[in-house]
Amino acid sequence: MSRYIYLGPAGTFSEAALAPLLKSGDSSEPAANVTAALESVRNGQSDYALVPIENSVEGVVARTLDELATGQPLMIIGEQVLQVSFALMVKAGGSKKEIKRLATHPHAEAQCREYIAKHLPHAEVVLTNSTAAGAESVSKGDADGAIAAEVAAKHYGLEVIEGNIGDREGAVTRFVVISKLGEIPALTGHDRTSLAIFIAADHSGALLEILTEFAVRGVNLTFIQSRPTGGELGQYHFIVDAEGHILEERVGDTLKALHRICAEVRFLGSYPRADKIAPTSTKGMTDRAFKSAEQWLSTIRSGKQD
């Protein structure tokens, strides 16, 4: 039996993304925010946390990135991708024209901005820790309406007055499953490796040096984001997602090279991709080619070459 914690309260997209992972006997509970969810894993109260990390419209979830890059190290062991659809909800019997305070999460507000401007131009937008928290605030009388997942209306006894109000069809959010450091998930052939990379000193070409280590080994990047270190202005680290698994030769070789040139490289995990897309590779950049080259060099060094 496993204990899961997710970005709450009940009725969030995080809860919906977690549902397929739960097995008989597993338990789950909501956390007030991403920090609380990850701290629950760090202190042993939960085995796993599921939190959002990236949205196809609004981009990164900065708090998740920052929490993974700092503090006691944790490890991503899996990911889930969920198509998100937003609904406008009120207390039973309420109407759109009565909404003076509209509660929702910042990412939901960004994905429904055109709708809000057109249909609720005079409403004050109140930002909450999650979409479900927005729905909860309506149930408590702290807001007149909320934008959230339709399932939140059922949790908090609200009425959906309009569904599918997002400005763009097909928006998706990627969630990650996080555990304490331990056994790395097995190589599947469709994996992703996540890193937090801290440069040794800010200088011209620092980012290029990092990117070059990936490029010369044919390791494709699917995500890169700079984040402030929390120190002086202008000091940043980089969160990177790369195709492949740390057990693959070219990925492992890249990490060794980064370790030589960077102040710190924090390994955040190698785990199966939700979309099951295999890494791209070119001639001479396959795992077999790297192993063959290593064997060739070992033969020369041993003096046993033909």
- Top pLDDT among 267 and 58 is at 267
Give 64's DSSP letter: H
Same domain, 158 and 192: no
Answer whether residue 168 is part of any domain.
Answer: no
CA 226 – CA 229 distance, rounded (Å): 9
pLDDT of residue 120: 96
pLDDT of residue 217: 92
Residue of 84, 25, 81 whose CA lies nearest to 272 = 81
Query: Residues 149-165: pLDDT tens digits?
Result: 998 999 899 999 999 99
**Predicted confidence band at 80 (pLDDT cuts at 50, 70, 90)?**
very high
Q: Which domain holds residue 109?
A: 87-162
Same domain, 125 and 201: no
pLDDT of residue 107: 85
**Alpha-carbon torsion, ordered 110, 114, 120, 122, to 10 deg:** 80
pLDDT of residue 306: 63
**Which range is least confidently modeled, 26-40, 70-84, 174-188, 271-285?**
271-285
Overall domain count for the chain: 2
Beta strand 145-148 with 101-104: parallel, antiparallel or unpaired? parallel
To the nearest whole number, what is the mean pLDDT of the chain? 91
What is the number of other CB atoms lying within 10 angstroms of the CB of residue 144? 22
CATH code, domain with 131 = 3.40.190.10
- Top pLDDT among 138 and 230 is at 138
Same domain, 140 and 203: no
Query: Residues 224-236: pLDDT tens digits?
Result: 998 877 666 667 7
Average pLDDT of 117-141?
Answer: 94
pLDDT of residue 75: 98
